[in-house]
Amino acid sequence: MTYFLYVFDLTGVFFFAISGAIAGRKNEMDIFGMFMLALVTAIGGGTLRSLLIGVTPPPVLRDPAYISLAAGATIVSLFAEPLWEKWQRAVSLFDAVGLGVFVCIGIQVAQNQGLAPWACLAMGLVTATFGGVLRDLFRAEVPLIFRKEIYATAALLGGLVYLLGDLLGMLPRYNIPITTV
Amino acid sequence: MTYFLYVFDLTGVFFFAISGAIAGRKNEMDIFGMFMLALVTAIGGGTLRSLLIGVTPPPVLRDPAYISLAAGATIVSLFAEPLWEKWQRAVSLFDAVGLGVFVCIGIQVAQNQGLAPWACLAMGLVTATFGGVLRDLFRAEVPLIFRKEIYATAALLGGLVYLLGDLLGMLPRYNIPITTV
Amino acid sequence: MTYFLYVFDLTGVFFFAISGAIAGRKNEMDIFGMFMLALVTAIGGGTLRSLLIGVTPPPVLRDPAYISLAAGATIVSLFAEPLWEKWQRAVSLFDAVGLGVFVCIGIQVAQNQGLAPWACLAMGLVTATFGGVLRDLFRAEVPLIFRKEIYATAALLGGLVYLLGDLLGMLPRYNIPITTV
Counted across chains A and C, CB pairs separated by less than 8 A come out at: 57
Examine the pLDDT at C47 and tell me if it is beyond 90. yes
DSSP at B141: S
C125 contacts chain A (CB < 8 A): no
Query: What's CA C32's distance to the chain center, in Å?
Result: 21
Q: Which of C62, C67, C137 shows the shortest C-beta gap to B137?
A: C137
> Residue B17's CB: how many other CB atoms inside 10 A?
32
At position A130, the amino acid (one-letter code) is F
More confident residue, C112 or C82: C112
Q: Which amino acid is at B161?
A: V
Average pLDDT over residues B46-61: 91
pLDDT one-digit tens code per residue, B110-159: 988 889 988 988 998 899 889 988 998 888 888 877 776 666 677 777 77
Query: Strand ranges (DSSP E) for A24-115?
Result: none
* Per-residue confidence (pLDDT) for residue C86, from 0 to 100: 63
Residue B16 pLDDT greater than 50, yes or no: yes
Chain B residues whose CB is inside 8 A of the C32 CB are 149, 152-153
Query: Residue A57 is which amino acid?
Result: P
Burial class from Cβ neighbours inside 10 Å (0-12, 13-18, 19+) for residue A178 reads: middle
CA angle C17, C22, C28 (to 5 degrees): 130
Mean pLDDT rounded to a whole number for chain B = 80
Q: What is the mean pLDDT of residues C35-50?
A: 92
Range name among A128-137, C91-100, C117-126 with the lowest pLDDT average: C91-100
* B171 has a pLDDT exceeding 50: no
The pLDDT value recorded for residue B177 is 44
Q: What pLDDT is attached to residue A181?
A: 44
Residue environment code for B55-80, b if the CB has 16+ CB neighbours within 10 A, otherwise e: bbbbbbbebebbbebbbbbbeebeee
User: Is the CB of residue C47 less than 8 Å away from at least one CB of chain B?
Assistant: yes
The proportion of chain C whose per-residue pLDDT surpasses 90, expressed as a percent, equals 22
Give B136 or C98, the one with higher predicted confidence.
B136
Q: Do B119 and C62 touch (CB under 8 A)?
A: yes
- Model pLDDT for residues A147-179, shown as the tens digit of each residue: 766 666 777 777 777 777 665 555 444 444 444
CB C55 within 8 A of CB C105: no
Contact A132, A143 (CB under 8 A): yes
CA neighbor of A19 nearest in space, from A167, A151, A164: A151
Q: Is the pLDDT of residue B72 over 90?
A: yes
Q: Torsion-angle region of residue C118: left (phi > 0), alpha (psi -120 to 50) or beta?
A: alpha
Whether B93 has a pLDDT exceeding 90, the answer reads no
More confident of the two residues A83 and B65: B65
pLDDT at A90: 61
Average pLDDT rounded to a whole number, residues C147-151: 67
Mutation target vs A (from C142, C147, C148, C156; most A CBs, 10 A cutoff): C142
Q: Would you state the pLDDT for residue B91?
A: 61
Whether B124 and B159 have beta carbons less than 8 Å apart is answered as yes
Q: Which of A132-141, B49-58, B168-177, C57-66 has the lowest mean pLDDT?
A: B168-177
- C28 compared with B173, residue with greater pLDDT: C28
Least confident of A38-47, B14-23, B157-166: B157-166
Predicted ipTM of the assembly: 0.84
Contact predicate C57/B119, CB 8 Å: yes
- Which positions in chain C touch B141 (Cβ < 8 Å)? 140
Looking from the CA of B29 toward its CB, the CA atoms found within 13 Å total 29
Q: Is B154 on the interface with C (CB under 8 A)?
A: no
Mean pLDDT of B46-51: 93
pLDDT at C163 over 70: yes
Asked whether the predicted pLDDT for residue C171 surpasses 90, the reply is no
> Which chain B residues are Cβ-neighbours of C54 within 8 angstroms?
54
C101 touches chain A (CB under 8 A): no
Residues composing chain A: 181
Mean pLDDT of C139-162: 75
Domain boundaries, chain C: 3-180
Show the low-confidence residues of chain A (pLDDT under 50). Answer: 171-181
The DSSP code for B83 is: G
Q: In angstroms, rounded to a whole number, what is the distance separating the alpha carbons of residues C161 and B167?
A: 51
> What is the model's pLDDT at position B173?
42
Please give the helix or strand (H or E) that residue C138 lies within, else none. none
Q: Using pLDDT thresholds of 50, 70 and 90, give the confidence band for residue B40.
A: very high
Q: Which chains does chain B touch, 3 or more C-beta pairs < 8 A? A: A, C
